[in-house]
Amino acid sequence: MKELVIVDSGSANLYSIFKACEMVSLKPEISSNPEVIAAAKAVIFPGVGFFDHAARTIRENRLTDALLKVITDKKPLLGICLGMQLLFTESEESINTADAVKGLGAVAGRVKRFPAGLPVPHVGWNRVMPASGHPLFEGLESGAYFYFTHSYYVQPEKTQVILARTEYAFPFTSAVGDGSLMGVQFHPEKSGPAGLHLLGNFGKIIADNY
């Protein structure tokens, strides 16, 4: 059983995440093998790009069941950017396309586009305000800066899963958590010391789970 698997879904910058994990003494392995992913102690699920394409790709590569098994088995899973969005039920990015593919449905809610008039994508450094004392944000000051690049944001059905919010003309959800399932809209691997600290916290969550 691998300690930590970074999912290679064909739509992420895997090397930077791999190196960031190594910098906080995690021992990751990159894999697109559903058996390896399902058997891992913990998983990081990154993603960039178009929701519909990514959702279709993970299904074609037989990763859907592997990811859902990790979630069902209550193993720590961290979705990053599009990876977090894919944990949700559906996205406005693909809902009106022919043969639209839904998300994993692990978190009830929809992925929504920023309103007209706001510059998109939302790119650059922005402050993250934790909504609760979740261990993923332990030791990080409220308002720490993280790096974002996205045109869509998540809107959970239940406010209880909101771990953090960020202001971009209005407060949007920038992190979610439900038990061992977590997701962040920003890129911790591109967020300097704060991002490394968060990944280190994820490592502690993994250790506490076993």
How confident is the chain (210 residues) per 10-residue block, as mean pLDDT? 86 89 96 96 93 89 96 98 96 68 92 94 97 94 97 97 98 97 98 98 93
DSSP string computed for 13-41: -HHHHHHHHHHTT--EEEE--HHHHHH-S
Q: What pLDDT score does 97 carry?
A: 56
Q: Measured between alpha carbons, how far is residue 148 from residues 38, 55, 90, 135 in Å? A: 29, 21, 21, 21
The catalytically annotated residue of 90, 93, 122, 187 is: 187
> For residue 181, which of 130, 120, 127, 136 has the smallest C-alpha distance?
136
Please name the residues in contact with 72: beta carbons below 8 A apart, sequence gap of 6 or more. Answer: none
Q: Is 150 a catalytic residue?
A: no
Q: Which fold has domain 4-208?
A: Rossmann fold (3.40.50)
Q: What pLDDT score does 48 carry?
A: 86
Q: Is 122 a catalytic residue?
A: no
Q: What pLDDT score does 168 carry?
A: 98
Q: Are 10 and 32 in contact (CB under 8 A)?
A: yes
Q: Is 187 a catalytic residue?
A: yes
Please name the residues in contact with 96: beta carbons below 8 A apart, sequence gap of 6 or more. Answer: none
Q: Are 7 and 67 in contact (CB under 8 A)?
A: yes
Question: In b/e form, how buried is each residue of 12-21, taking b as 16+ CB within 10 angstroms?
Answer: bebeebbebb
Q: What pLDDT score does 136 carry?
A: 98
The catalytically annotated residue of 21, 81, 90, 150 is: 81
pTM here?
A: 0.95
Q: What pLDDT score does 101 carry?
A: 74
Q: What pLDDT score does 157 carry?
A: 97
In the numeric block, the tokens 């993250």 are attached to: 128
The catalytically annotated residue of 90, 122, 189, 197 is: 189
